[in-house]
Amino acid sequence: MRGLKIMEKQRTIAKECRVEGVGLHTGNVSTVIFKPAPADYGIRFIRTDIEGRPVIRASTEHVSGTAVRGTTIGEGETTVSTIEHIMATCFALGIDNLEIHISNNEPPILDGSASKFAELLGSAGLSEQEAQRRYLTLNEPVVYQSGKTKIEAHPSDEFRIDCVVEYDHPFLKKQSYSAVLDGGTFSKEIAPARTFCFDYEIEALKGKGLAKGGDFNNAIVVGLNGIHNQNKSLRFDNEFARHKALDLIGDLYLLGAPLKAHVIAYRCGHNSNINFAREIIKKAVKTNSAATEVGKMEAQYPKEGQVFDINAIKRTIPHRYPFLMIDKVVIKEVNKSAVGYKCVSGNENFFQGHFPGWPIMPGVLIVEAIAQTSCVLLLSQSGMKDKLAYFMSIDSAKFRKPVVPGDVLEFRVEALRVREKGGKVRGDAYVNDNLVAEAEFMFAIVDKEEQK
């Protein structure tokens, strides 16, 4: 792999939009709300029906189980299935960052195509962001083969797809589709292609607990002599090949950045698509040059659970002794929440005067430690190396219990609102799970150069 090319700016949607409907496999009704997200956030699904609103990043490493009739991502026991149509739409429209709030475990299948998603997100408009967009590119082919399935990716300066389907079936034998991907081509030629299955598969799918929400309104059912749907006309002569291309595009966006390559797929499906995406990652590791670049890309996106020790903290924020008030920060949810820690020592310089013989940590310094934890959370993102976070206001500050030498402070911070130039955070400080202080902050993000 040549790795990552720095190109145009990243983009998110300009305004919120929503859709409701029934999931194809679960039959569950869900509401999906698409919301703008900050730069370097990526595509993330948020389960609003579960306590704590768990977040799942759309990536190959979060693919859950074997992807057969749809692609499922998960964190622990929390999953979201059949995400490929949404992901393909994001890829094609050039959406890098998006919050997807979903009220159940599967988005609506709608009419079996991605047309509604393309229409919704296209109508929401795109908002350009400060951070640079990154692409994955190749300098040598990547090939995945399993049985009769073969998928290849060749170096290219654009994303081109050639997709071939072939079945030993009297009605549906062989179809192909080729295109250079862009938003217009996708919306007109790929997004309208509907999902399909053969009539003999339905009983087996039902037996596996799948296709509970499937019907003739959201899937094409193919029989020996033709189509069972009342409206037997196809949207395209090669609609089946186009739909396979749609699914493959969506699955490839789980790489975490748009791929520039000429992809040639023969008899592909979700499981082979994911395995192919993983081959691209494995190939990058083996060639080392690409491994370095992919590694750099991943490093720019702090991971859930990533620990910032004191040295990493110093690389992220400008605070130093005697005003560095935190010892460790753990990113819980990228650009959303983190936990900071401070071991309160009897040698702290502020105890000399606060108070002699009765050492109590000043409440204002606890608030400062919460703020510094927030700074690590915000400034650890890609593109923030040359930024500073200035806190503009403090609201709802309360001090509930004294903090003394020997206590271990835990600062739980949550970003309530994040924009390119500022936002709002909330933080709570605990000792042994007892709340000792809390506050909300407004902050501004500025360039370091402007402050000189």
Catalytic residues: 270, 354
**Separation CA 90–CA 6 (nearest Å):** 19
**Separation CA 247–CA 166 (nearest Å):** 16
* Cβ partners under 8 Å of residue 66, min gap 6: 271
Burial class (CB in 10 A: 0-12, 13-18, 19+), 233: exposed
Helix pair angle (239-252, 84-93), 10° resolution: 80
**CA separation (Å) from 69 to 26, 82, 271?**
12, 8, 9
**Separation CA 88–CA 358 (nearest Å):** 62
Closest CA to 399 of 433, 358, 436: 436
* Cβ partners under 8 Å of residue 199, min gap 6: 221, 222, 223, 224, 228
The strand pairing partners of 74, in sequence order, are 79
Tokens representing 390 are: 């200035």
Q: Please, where are the H alpha helices in 253-325?
A: 270-287, 289-299, 310-316
If residue 258 lies in a helix (H) or strand (E), which one and from where to where? Answer: none
**Separation CA 437–CA 434 (nearest Å):** 9
